[in-house]
């Protein structure tokens, strides 16, 4: 399948302009084409029936114009929708105005909502609808939803109708997926041509329902820094076949340094995950003062200890990749020395969890290495940058790319949509499930990626493959145990199934 490019709102506008120029179209002609394409898609895919009461709710911008064209197209098919225009017509876009004038020739069933005085009439129409087509706001929304718009969205969300949003649920920011104070909760979202960042990030997936990507022929261009949606099929044939004439050292030798009081299981989860992903050897190294806190062992994972930096070189020797940070805590000065030593080597390195806390203090000295991967979640990213987590949520793609560029790293920013970037290329993954929001799953991801790094995959490739293995294993675990009851260990136990299927 083709790569699915993910764009910002500004990039989408540029693609629209490119299309208008190359195809010698007017803006209204493109709007008319988009609206009719959506209408045809809805009918071909039986997303409503002849008995449905359809309500088209349009704003005064171009997203609303698309909705008005949908209403016009339905009328031409002898399907009679009710239409509501939400907003002040003085703010109507030129294209929206043209769509509305064309529609008014065909129907008088148009209601206008421009103040709270119109809410009762709006509510009556919503209450009788079985299908609502939401075209209030699109990629142009740049401020919070307020006043009667907020009430309109609340009423839509309270209804029993099936809601179909155009491009984005109204109220979702097109660049970061955050709710702008209020947002429509859609059952389906028809995404026009390209996924926008805001279709995938932060709150978006909880508001979008099922995403449908509709190709309407908007021209694509080469992107300086491509952003691609990772598909599960990417795993197929990506895992190298194991040769028969081999031994354990052929498949990677992984060391995980971590653990502290109350968190001794974290490095063990990473170490076990590396083995399940195919590593020939896996060891963990604990600070010796915490050794008596170990309550669980895994016979295949070797255990080392260290007291000071002098104990580390012999443990790192002959390793093909090192994980630093799972369960490490932030109170031991020796950990800063350990990371400082690891950064002076050329060994592939994954820095996770508390390791990122120590990295912040050292990284400027080591900005030329290319084989380091960091795997923060939003809070760890915020701590690393010295900013508030809400700032990270506003621009997660920008912050991830900036760190990758500034420090020559591969960044895996974990979340509902995981962002993988080395600044030259970026990938988004929306696989997995909320059941993976449980203790230890991040350690499992580190172990999977380290195993791949240790077997010769590039940092970017190891991150991409690792994120997909991790998320698919999480999906399998949720199928068996449910999202509420699954654990990190359940994810580990399903790694083999993902790898087996990818190689079959």
Instruction: Lowest mean pLDDT of 91-100, 160-169, 171-180, 284-293, name the range.
Output: 284-293
Residue 317's contacts (CB-CB under 8 Å, 6 or more residues apart) are none
pLDDT band with cut points at 50, 70 and 90 for residue 271: very high
Residue 23's contacts (CB-CB under 8 Å, 6 or more residues apart) are 219
3-class DSSP assignment, residue 213: strand
DSSP state of 176: T
pLDDT band with cut points at 50, 70 and 90 for residue 291: confident
Q: How many angstroms separate the CA atoms of 259 and 344, rounded? A: 22
Mean pLDDT of the chain: 96
Contact 172, 204 (CB under 8 A): yes
Region 279-300 average pLDDT: 92
Q: Tell me the CA distances in angstroms from 400 to 233, 348, 419, one per residue in order.
A: 25, 20, 8
CATH superfamily of 232-503: Ribokinase (3.40.1190.20)
Contact 142, 150 (CB under 8 A): no
Q: With a threshold of 0.85, does the pTM exceed it?
A: yes
Neighbours of 292 (CB within 10 A): 9
Contact 340, 359 (CB under 8 A): no
User: Is pLDDT at 430 greater than 80 in this prediction?
Assistant: yes
Region 259-286 average pLDDT: 98
Rg (CA), the chain: 26
- Pairwise pLDDT comparison (340 vs 369), residue with the higher score: 340
Region 322-335 average pLDDT: 96
Encode pLDDT of 41-60 as tens digits. Answer: 999 999 999 899 999 999 99
Architecture label for domain 4-223: 3-Layer(aba) Sandwich (3.40)
Region 94-116 average pLDDT: 97
**Tokens standing for 345?**
């080597």
> Closest Cα partner for 413 from 378, 449, 462?
378
User: Is pLDDT at 342 greater than 70 in this prediction?
Assistant: yes
Q: Tell me the CA distances in angstroms from 49 to 103, 170, 253, one per residue in order.
A: 22, 24, 59
Sorted by where each begins, the domain ranges of the chain are 4-223, 232-503
Q: Residue 223: what pLDDT?
A: 65
């Amino acid at each position: 399948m083709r790569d699915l490019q993910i764009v910002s709102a500004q990039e989408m506008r540029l693609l629209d302009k490119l299309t208008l120029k190359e195809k010698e179209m007017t803006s209204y002609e493109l709007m008319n084409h988009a609206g009719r394409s959506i209408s045809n898609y809805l009918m071909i895919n039986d997303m409503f029936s002849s008995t449905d009461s359809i309500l088209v709710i349009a704003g005064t911008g171009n997203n609303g114009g698309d909705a008005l064209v949908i209403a016009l197209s339905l009328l031409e098919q002898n399907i009679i929708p009710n239409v509501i225009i939400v907003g002040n017509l003085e703010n109507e876009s030129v294209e929206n105005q043209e769509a509305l004038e064309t529609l008014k020739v065909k129907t008088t069933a148009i209601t206008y909502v421009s103040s709270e005085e119109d809410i009762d009439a709006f509510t009556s129409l919503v209450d009788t609808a079985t299908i609502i087509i939401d075209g209030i706001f699109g990629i142009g929304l740049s401020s919070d939803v307020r006043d009667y718009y907020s009430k309109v969205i609340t009423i839509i969300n309270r209804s029993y109708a099936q809601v179909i949003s155009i491009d984005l649920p109204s109220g979702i920011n097109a660049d970061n997926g955050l709710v702008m104070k209020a947002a429509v909760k859609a059952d389906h979202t028809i995404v026009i041509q390209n996924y926008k960042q805001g279709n995938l990030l932060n709150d978006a997936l909880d508001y979008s329902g099922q995403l449908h990507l509709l190709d309407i022929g908007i021209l694509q261009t080469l992107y300086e820094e491509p952003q691609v949606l990772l598909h599960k099929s990417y795993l197929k044939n990506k895992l190298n076949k194991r040769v028969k004439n081999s031994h354990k050292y052929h498949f990677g030798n992984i060391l995980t340094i971590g653990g502290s009081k109350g968190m001794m299981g974290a490095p063990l989860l990473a170490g076990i995950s590396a083995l399940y992903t195919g590593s020939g050897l896996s060891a963990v190294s604990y600070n010796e003062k915490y050794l008596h806190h170990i309550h669980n062992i895994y016979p295949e994972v070797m255990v080392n200890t260290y007291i000071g930096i002098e104990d580390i070189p012999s443990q790192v020797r002959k390793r093909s990749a090192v994980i630093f940070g799972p369960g490490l805590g932030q109170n031991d000065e020796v950990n800063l020395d350990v990371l400082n030593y690891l950064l002076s080597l050329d060994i592939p390195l994954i820095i996770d969890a508390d390791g990122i806390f120590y990295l912040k203090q050292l990284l400027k000295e080591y900005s030329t290495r290319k084989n380091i991967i960091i795997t923060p979640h939003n809070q760890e990213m915020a701590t690393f940058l010295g900013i508030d987590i809400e700032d990270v949520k506003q621009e997660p793609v920008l912050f991830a790319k900036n760190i990758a560029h500034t420090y020559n790293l591969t960044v895996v920013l974990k979340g509902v949509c995981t962002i993988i970037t080395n600044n030259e290329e970026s990938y988004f993954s929306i696989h997995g499930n909320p059941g993976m929001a449980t203790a230890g799953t991040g350690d499992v991801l580190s172990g999977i990626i380290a195993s791949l790094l240790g077997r010769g995959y590039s940092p970017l490739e190891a991150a991409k493959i690792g994120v997909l293995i991790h998320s698919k294993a999480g999906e399998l675990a949720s199928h068996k145990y449910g999202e509420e009851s699954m654990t990190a260990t359940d994810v580990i136990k399903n790694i083999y199934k993902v790898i087996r299927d990818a190689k079959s």
